[in-house]
Amino acid sequence: MDAITRREIALAAAAYTAAPARGAKLEPLSSGIKISMQVGEDVSADDLKWIKQMGVEYLNVQTGKGRGTYENFVAIKQKVENAGLKVWNISNNDNRNIEEVTLNLPGRDEKIAWLKQYIRDTGKAGIGYITYAHMANGIWSSPQETTRGGAQARAFKMETAKGFWNGKTYEGPLTHGRKYTKEELWDNYTYFIKQIAPVAEEAGVRFGIHPDDPPVPELGGIPRHMFGTYDGYVKALEIANSPAIGVCLCCGTWMEGGKATGKDCYNAVRGFAKLGKLWKIHFRNVTQPIPYFVETFIDNGYTDMYKLMKMLVEVDFRGNLIADHVPSMGQSRQAGWSYSMGYIRALHEAAKKELKKG
């Protein structure tokens, strides 16, 4: 990989700070990476204290069924801010992987209307970002396996994998009774994003799209060509043609795809940053690309995570970065997450020092 040029760095920084087009109300992103912790809305006072002790400033908060409301967003934000922390985004399983939207099934317009209100309520609550994913039949996994030291972790093998999302299981050669074409899925995405983009712009909310997990060519008769490749992403962003629509780059998912994505993780970061569309990073590692992988600790996969962190610092990434899919460690959640978050913060500080940033 060629070293990133000064011009590319300047272009990325300019894209992050430029005034949004078409009257959008998006706030410019302040400098620096916002390292964040994932929690549920019922996070305890002790856990909030532990998060602060790790030196983490931001939270990504998950809500439950029926909890994606303005009133709940305000209550969550107040609870977090009372603990001296900040909310980056509030997620809900209903706001992504919506099969009615992806496949044009009955109820599509009702789902789109609900998501529009979710976006409006997010912006009204003073939260400037949400993550969306466009998978029709869930995230596909095989039974858990062990990684270093016997830690339990997600695995994927095509012959044993099934899709899971929001209480549903998807399996078999045709999860929705027939094969869908790439053209159908592009049409459905276009119908959806042309309605969502203006709402996100008006609400002042960045809408970051997560890669297909795993990014294989087809699962259950449904192509994964849009958000499983770099070129697919670029086409999707061009269709949206909106300052509010961008990328949540799950680096672990991108690593799962390997060469089939069209760009390795480092160059995907570089490319999306140059477009000014890189808003969130899921910082995790896997053992190898498909057809078989196990999610593992940050320092135990096939990707050089320090090299990846340096790329993020070089391109002046100003969005949110989380640990994700953390393998188990010991008996408490805190052990594995403390290891991952400490490792991330150390890589970040080392990269800034080496590159003389911050």
Question: pLDDT tens for residues 85-113?
Answer: 999 999 999 999 999 999 999 999 999 99
The H or E element containing residue 353 is helix 333-355
Do 208 and 131 touch, CB atoms closer than 8 A?
yes
pLDDT of residue 80: 97
Do 280 and 249 touch, CB atoms closer than 8 A?
yes
Question: 6-352: what fold?
Answer: TIM Barrel (3.20.20)
Of residues 46, 283, 294, the one with CA closest to residue 146: 294
Task: Give the chain's largest Cα–Cα span.
Answer: 55
The torsion angles phi and psi of 280, rounded to 5 degrees, stand at: -150, 145
104: left (phi over 0), alpha (psi -120 to 50) or beta: left
Do 328 and 146 touch, CB atoms closer than 8 A?
no
SS3 label, residue 47: helix
Strand partners, 281: 249, 321
Of residues 141, 178, 183, 180, the one with CA closest to residue 162: 141
Cα–Cα dist 329/146, whole Å: 11
pLDDT of residue 133: 98
Residues 6+ apart with CB under 8 A from 48: 80, 83, 85
SS3 label, residue 96: coil
The torsion angles phi and psi of 310, rounded to 5 degrees, stand at: -60, -40
Residue ranges for the chain with pLDDT beneath 70 = 1-24, 358
Cα–Cα dist 312/269, whole Å: 7
pLDDT tens sequence across 259-317: 999 999 999 999 999 999 999 999 999 999 999 999 999 999 999 999 999 999 999 99
| Domain boundaries defined on the chain | 6-352
pLDDT of residue 270: 97
pTM of the model: 0.93
List the beta strands (DSSP E) in 251-300.
Answer: 278-282, 285-286, 292-296
Cα–Cα dist 185/187, whole Å: 5
pLDDT of residue 23: 44
Cα–Cα dist 210/8, whole Å: 24
The token duo for 132 is: 């969306």
